[in-house]
Structure formats: C-alpha cells, structure tokens
C-alpha cells in the first residue's frame, strides 16, 4: 500500500507538468488551429526566467570586513549582494531565498511578450498552411530558442534551489497511519502539484465565467460565426496565445527546483506533452488535463522495480504504447471533438 501511494504521488507530480504544458498546447491548437512545436521551448524559457532572477538577485559587490586583514595586512573583502543595500541583510537574504516563487511575477510579462511576438511575427503567417508546415517552422523556432539559451547559459544544468522552507519532505506515512518515514515526499513537489491545480483551475474559470473566455470558447467552436457578429476574434486569439505561453512559462518556473534547468529540457517535455494532447483529444482542454495526470500516473507505475524486472524498459515507452492504442481505436482521443484528426 505504501508503494502504491508513493507511485500515485510521483504520477501526480509528473502529470502536473504534462498537464500544464499540454493545456497550453491545446489552447493554441483549439483557438488558432496551429500545432505549436515550440511550446516546449516556452517551458524551458520559463525555467530560465527563474535562473535569471536568481542571478540578478545575487549580483554583488565587494566590501571590506571591519577589523579583519589578510597575511599581507590588506583588508579582508567579502561579497555583499546589492539587494542587501536596498532591503537590509535579513530581508535581502529572504528575497534571494524565495527567488523561484518571486520569478512568477518576473516571468509573466516576459512570457506573455514572447507569446505575442511569436504569434504576430511568425505563427500568424501559417494559420492556413498545412499542419506539416506548422510543425516544421515551430520545431525550427524551438531549436533556435534552445541554442540561444545554450549560448548564454551554457550546456550544463543550473541548480535552482527551492526556498529553504520547502527543502524537506512531508511524512505521509505518519498522517495515513503507516510507520513514520514509510511514505515521505518532498515538500516542493507537493507545492508544484498544488500550483498546477491552481493554474489549471484559473484557466478553466477564466474561459468559463468571463465574457472574454466565453467569446473565445465560441470562437473555438465556430470562428466564422463569431467573426460575423462583429467581434475581433483574431485579437482575442492572439491574447490566448500569450496566456498559453505564460502557462507554459509558469510551469517551467516552478519546475526549476525539481529538474535543474538545461537547454534541452523543453524538447524533453514537448514530445511527451504532445502525446498527452493526442491521447486527451486535439482541442479538448479537459482531455489534455485528464490525459496528463493519467499518463503521469501510468508512467510512474511502469517505473516500479517489480514492473521493470518483468518488462525492462517499459517505463520509457509506456506512454507511446498508450498513444498508439488510442490512435488506432479512437483517433480523436479520449475527449476530442468528433471529426478532429479523423479525416
């Protein structure tokens, strides 16, 4: 039972990342009809927003240590972050410690701006082009963004720690009546799951209960009719592209302490998340979220030692096997609209 609970927790953790990225992919496909293979790069850029803010907050200058000298009699120097000069040492240290959560505020305008630039500068020219053309151009854009990140940040992963308050682990075993330390799980992974649930809920609430969201949903169902009503649906879809970019970026920001940011992390998640979209149903937001969590849990269970002893390597291919079965039996996905991807 303890192993079962632990694998479910691992699955929810992985599924949170899959669901957030897949949600953004589905928003773009559902509104603009574009297969955006650069979406994983937006996840990566979000993670590097956390890296960038952390580095900015740690910018420092040297000051002399009062009463201390080296063996030559020169004053001893130490690095003091500039933020200490502004907020004081105690507050400054707290701000540096909470750099990752604060990166949310830093990343939102950056990701929305990148989303607008991508849509207006490139994507809009491929609305009526075949999906193959869209995949090629957005995949090429993803490689360009990946190489830019590699040039400025290097090829090695960059550790980006979570706040000290969330560096420990929560003892689920003691809460559920098991022996202490039987089921322990990192606090930050629980925070990530809760954060993902909030973002997913906020996106669905925005689309369901706001006038803007209702118009967007109507446009997803029948774009031409909404346009005939005098509504500038293209402008709203551009805004949705920015929102989708922000969702991917925020997913990357909060994932930085779990998986140290590196230049190829976007591509690693893109393929899996696109499979999630296909399984959930192209254009189905609820399908993307459901499939993300289900496949995350399935992948987690496939990683158990007892499973790998019986079927070595199954954890690496299980998601793709599920996708093949879904495509053969139900091409539109679990919750896809009839006729989508069935031609």
Convert the pLDDT of each residue in 4-58 to its tens digit: 888 888 888 888 988 988 888 888 887 777 888 888 899 999 999 999 999 999 9
| Residues in CB range of 209: below 8 A, 6 or more apart | none
Count structural domains, the chain: 1
| Residue 87: domain span | 1-329
In a domain, 75, yes or no: yes
Quick count: other Cβ atoms within 10 Å of Cβ 117?
Answer: 13
Summarised one tens digit per residue, pLDDT across range 66-93 is 877 777 777 787 888 999 888 988 999 9
Give the pLDDT of residue 96: 93
In the predicted model, what is the mean pLDDT of residues 248-276?
Answer: 89
pLDDT above 80 for 336 = no
Q: DSSP alpha helices (H): ranges in 33-62?
A: 39-57
**Calpha distance 290→118 (Å, rounded):** 28
Kindly tell me the burial class for residue 65, based on how many C-beta atoms sit within 10 Å of its own C-beta (0-12, 13-18, 19 or more).
exposed
Q: Let me know if residue 338 belongs to a domain.
A: no
Is residue 140 situated within a structural domain? yes
341 inside domain: no
CATH code, domain carrying 158 = 1.10.3470
The answer to whether position 269 is within a domain reads yes
- Of residues 252 and 177, the one with the higher pLDDT is 252
User: Is residue 218 situated within a structural domain?
Assistant: yes
Calpha distance 319→175 (Å, rounded): 32
Considering the domain boundaries, does residue 72 fall inside one?
Answer: yes
Contact 141, 123 (CB under 8 A): no
- State the pLDDT at residue 340: 53
Contacts of 10 (CB under 8 A, 6+ apart): 300, 303
Residue at 337 is within a domain:
no
pTM, 2 dp: 0.88
């Amino acid at each position: 039972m303890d192993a079962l609970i632990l694998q479910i927790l691992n699955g929810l953790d992985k599924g949170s990342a899959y669901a957030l990225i897949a949600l953004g992919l589905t928003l773009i496909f559902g509104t603009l009809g574009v297969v955006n293979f650069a979406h994983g790069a937006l996840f990566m850029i979000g993670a590097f927003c956390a890296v960038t803010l952390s580095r900015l907050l740690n910018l420092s200058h040297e000051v002399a240590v009062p009463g201390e000298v080296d063996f030559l009699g020169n004053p001893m120097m130490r690095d003091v972050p500039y933020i200490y000069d502004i907020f004081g040492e105690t507050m400054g240290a707290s701000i540096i410690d909470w750099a990752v959560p604060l990166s949310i505020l830093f990343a939102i305008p950056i990701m929305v701006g990148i989303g607008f630039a991508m849509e207006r500068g490139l994507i809009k020219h491929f609305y009526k082009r075949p999906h193959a053309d869209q995949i090629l151009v957005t995949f090429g854009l993803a490689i360009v963004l990946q190489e830019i990140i590699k040039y400025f940040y290097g090829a090695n992963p960059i550790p980006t720690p979570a706040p000290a308050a969330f560096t420990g682990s929560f003892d689920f075993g003691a809460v559920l009546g098991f022996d202490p330390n039987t089921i322990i799980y990192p606090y930050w992974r629980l925070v990530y799951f809760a954060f993902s649930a909030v973002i997913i809920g906020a996106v669905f609430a925005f689309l369901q209960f706001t006038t803007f969201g209702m118009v967007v949903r109507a446009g997803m169902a029948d774009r031409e009719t909404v346009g005939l009503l005098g509504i500038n649906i293209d402008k709203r879809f551009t805004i949705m592209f920015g929102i989708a970019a922000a969702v991917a970026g925020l997913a990357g920001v909060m994932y930085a302490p779990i998986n140290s940011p590196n230049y190829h992390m976007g591509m690693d998640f893109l393929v899996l998340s696109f499979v999630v979209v296909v399984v959930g149903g192209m254009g189905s937001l609820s399908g993307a979220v459901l499939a993300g969590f289900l496949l995350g849990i399935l992948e987690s269970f496939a990683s158990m030692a007892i499973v790998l002893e019986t079927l070595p390597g199954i954890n690496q291919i299980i998601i793709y096997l599920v996708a093949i079965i879904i495509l053969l039996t139900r091409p539109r996905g679990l919750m896809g609209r009839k006729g989508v991807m069935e031609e």
